[in-house]
């Protein structure tokens, strides 16, 4: 299996997208090597992970071709950077929603020629992919929707607009009634903008169908996350991270079906006591900033240090799918209000006060059966790094082993992180 895996290439398709084909041609072999080493080297993986492996195999070809074809059909292909952008509205005009957050060091030098070095690596990575024309996902979108969750992002949108049409939604920074009113107005404006871009009306029928479709996707992920909480776990944290990353660019209905198929296999594995790690293996939960594909560094270090990851409290994890939209709304105003209520439950660190997130982390920690918490933040992510102080205090009060990590996408700190994580696992086992 390992020898056969290869990330596919399609220079002709990439040329249609005005990519720097020669430079990008180095990426698939690099990704092939990393994926083989980190994922395919695992023992006793669930058989139905094959679909998700195949999504990586076709990440720069088959899925890009699907989005290219959608754009040729006149369907809007919309890039997003945050779980706050309501994908139900994009879906309601038959659009394609794709996450564009960057998780690679490869594109950062391109960004640093234009934007400051001392800002979030995820922002730099994403920006660099566009200005360097070295990301087929970024090249296939018609436009992108940004948001105001942090200073680095909201100033970056002004510069990104020079390279691709960029529209910004204002995210409230508090959760009062007046803030909810602001967010409803932003969602209403977003609906109008999507109607103008697509030439289609967001009707009650279309929006209801989209809400149900994406609720189904979230429920599938909830089912999967509940199964990984079993002790011992039937799936590794690395594989779960991969699935959560793919959730941001796969076709929702297809993805939902494949997740349920995997869940059925995991349920069978639990009945036959077929696990990825023996009982007694140290179980860790991750919290903090999102880990965009192909950022697998911390998960790989943890799970090659004798532990297994059983939960991610992040935008790439439970923050994306823990809540569904109430379906009792009948009019457009009611449905948009229910949609807004669901999105206001996202516990982003942009909010103040944000005690709800601390409570949510502790709740998920207990539900996951974890033995310790690793709070992982990207460098210069001031909101999450600051919130780690309150999270540490809460964990100390509850007697929860806590490790705080600040990192970026480079391999330079792998040795240091390995040492700290191994010591943390040993501390828990003692």
Beta-bridge partners for 77: 96
pLDDT at 2: 44
- CA dist 218 and 324 (Å) reads 7
- For residue 152, give the nearest of 404, 403, 385, 410 by alpha carbon: 385
Give 331-356 pLDDT, tens digit per residue: 999 999 999 999 999 999 999 999 99
* Average pLDDT score over the chain: 96
224 band by pLDDT with thresholds 50, 70 and 90: very high
- For residue 347, give the nearest of 333, 372, 364 by alpha carbon: 364
Cβ neighbours of residue 21 closer than 8 Å, sequence gap 6 or more: 11, 14, 15
- CA dist 235 and 244 (Å) reads 13
Q: What is the model's pTM?
A: 0.97
Find out whether 82 and 149 touch, Cβ atoms under 8 Å: yes
Cβ neighbours of residue 192 closer than 8 Å, sequence gap 6 or more: none
3-state secondary structure of 341: helix
Give 135-168 pLDDT, tens digit per residue: 999 999 999 999 999 999 999 999 999 999 999 9
Is the pLDDT score of 3 beyond 60? no
- CA dist 286 and 87 (Å) reads 25
- CA dist 355 and 257 (Å) reads 35
Give 380-423 pLDDT, tens digit per residue: 999 999 999 999 999 999 999 999 999 999 999 999 999 999 99
- CA dist 221 and 217 (Å) reads 6
Stretch 212-224: mean pLDDT: 98
3-state secondary structure of 158: helix
How many CA atoms does the CB half-sphere of 181 hold within 13 Å? Answer: 3
Give 88-129 pLDDT, tens digit per residue: 999 999 999 999 989 999 999 999 999 999 999 999 999 999
């Amino acid at each position: 299996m390992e020898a056969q895996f290869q990330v596919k290439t399609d220079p002709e398709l990439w040329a249609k997208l005005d990519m720097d084909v020669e430079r990008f041609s180095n990426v698939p072999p690099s990704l092939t090597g990393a994926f083989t080493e980190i994922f395919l080297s695992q023992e006793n993986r669930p058989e139905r992970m094959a679909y998700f492996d195949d999504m990586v195999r076709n990440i720069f070809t088959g899925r890009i071709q699907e989005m290219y074809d959608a754009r040729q059909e006149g369907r809007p292909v919309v890039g997003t950077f945050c779980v706050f952008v309501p994908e139900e509205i994009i879906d309601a005009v038959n659009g394609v929603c794709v996450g564009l957050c960057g998780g690679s060091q490869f594109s950062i030098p391109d960004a640093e020629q234009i934007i400051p070095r001392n800002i979030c690596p995820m922002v730099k990575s994403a920006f660099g992919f566009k200005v360097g024309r070295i990301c087929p996902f970024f090249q296939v979108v018609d436009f992108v929707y940004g948001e105001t969750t942090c200073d680095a992002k909201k100033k970056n949108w002004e510069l990104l607009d020079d390279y691709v049409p960029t529209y910004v939604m204002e995210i409230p920074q508090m959760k009062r009634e007046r803030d909810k009113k602001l967010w409803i107005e932003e969602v209403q404006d977003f609906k109008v903008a999507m109607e103008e871009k697509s030439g289609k009306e967001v009707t009650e029928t279309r929006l209801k169908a989209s809400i149900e479709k994406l609720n189904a996707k979230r429920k599938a992920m909830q089912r999967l996350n509940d199964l990984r909480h079993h002790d011992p776990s039937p799936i590794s944290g690395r594989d779960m991270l991969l699935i959560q990353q793919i959730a941001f660019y796969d076709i929702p209905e297809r993805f939902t079906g494949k997740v349920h198929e995997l869940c059925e296999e995991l349920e069978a594995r639990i009945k036959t006591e077929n696990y990825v790690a023996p009982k007694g293996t140290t179980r860790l939960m991750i919290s903090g900033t999102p880990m965009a594909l192909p950022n697998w560094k911390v998960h790989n270090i943890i799970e090659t240090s004798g532990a297994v990851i059983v939960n991610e409290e992040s935008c790439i994890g439970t923050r994306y799918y823990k809540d569904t939209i109430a379906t009792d709304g009948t009019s457009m105003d009611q449905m948009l209000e229910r949609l807004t209520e669901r999105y206001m439950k996202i516990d982003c660190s942009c909010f103040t006060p944000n005690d709800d997130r601390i409570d949510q982390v502790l709740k998920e920690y207990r539900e996951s059966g974890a033995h310790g918490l690793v709070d992982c933040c990207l460098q210069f992510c001031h909101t999450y790094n600051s919130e780690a102080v309150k999270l540490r205090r809460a964990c100390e009060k509850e007697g929860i082993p806590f490790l705080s990590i600040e990192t970026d996408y480079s391999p330079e700190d792998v040795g240091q992180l390995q040492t700290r994580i191994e010591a943390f696992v040993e501390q828990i086992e003692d």
